Amino acid sequence: MSSLQFSSLLLEISNQLNEEQLGRMKFLCHDIGKRALENIKNGTQLFLVLREKGKLRADKTEYLSELLKSIERNDLSDKLDSWTESGSGDVDDQPDAAERAKLNVATDVIAENLGKKWRKLGRKLGLTDVKLESVSRRHTDLEETARELLKEWRKSRRAEARASDLVAALRACELNLTADNVEDSLQTL
């Protein structure tokens, strides 16, 4: 993993932020310090301060991702998350390739079948109500909401994410048909 690649990604994100969006991000970073925030004139400067404060690294992008979502730049947040999930981030923080394949299959099946009970599953998976509300605000389509929910769960669990945990949570929510569909789909791998 190259720090140059990560810096290039941050530069690309910075170039897509306008002045108003940068101002809103700075407002949300109240714990950085007023004087430091006053001197920030572009995204790259903000990202440097976040790195200095330990809030941003190639293997720690959640804070920046949440900032981008908060200013309604889901496209940039998704780009950052995709970069991290694609293996450009720290490989030790991701499940092995076989488990990632299982998680991808499980995600597809769950997203297609979950429906309105996505919040119940999210709580069973240990996501906070704040995180669930954030997911709800970003999507109106139930399938996309379920995908986002599972993406957030995978980010929170990192290398510990397992398809078997998803099946267990589905069964705990009495969503046995969906759990059976996931297990059937996993047998084809």
pTM over the 0.85 mark: no
Over residues 50-77, the pLDDT tens digits come to 988 888 888 788 889 989 999 999 888 8
Q: Note the CATH number of domain 3-92.
A: 1.10.533.10
Domain boundaries, the chain: 3-92, 95-187
CB 184: neighbour CB atoms within 10 A? 10
Please, which residues bridge with residue 57 across strands? 60
b/e burial code for range 93-129 (CB count within 10 A of at least 16 → b):
ebbeeebbebbebbbebbbebbeebbbbbbebbebee
Compute φ and ψ for 31, nearest 5 degrees: -85, 5
Contact 169, 103 (CB under 8 A): no
Q: Can you list the residues of the chain whose pLDDT is less than 50?
A: 1, 89-91
Note whether 3-92 and 95-187 share their fold. Answer: yes
User: How long a stretch of residues is the chain?
Assistant: 189
Residue 51 vs residues 36, 44, 105, 117, 133: alpha-carbon distances, Å: 13, 10, 35, 38, 28
Tokens linked to 59? 């293997």
Q: What is the pLDDT of residue 160?
A: 87
Q: What is the pLDDT of residue 86?
A: 60
Fold of 95-187: Death Domain, Fas (1.10.533)
Over residues 75-97, the pLDDT tens digits come to 888 888 777 666 554 445 677 78
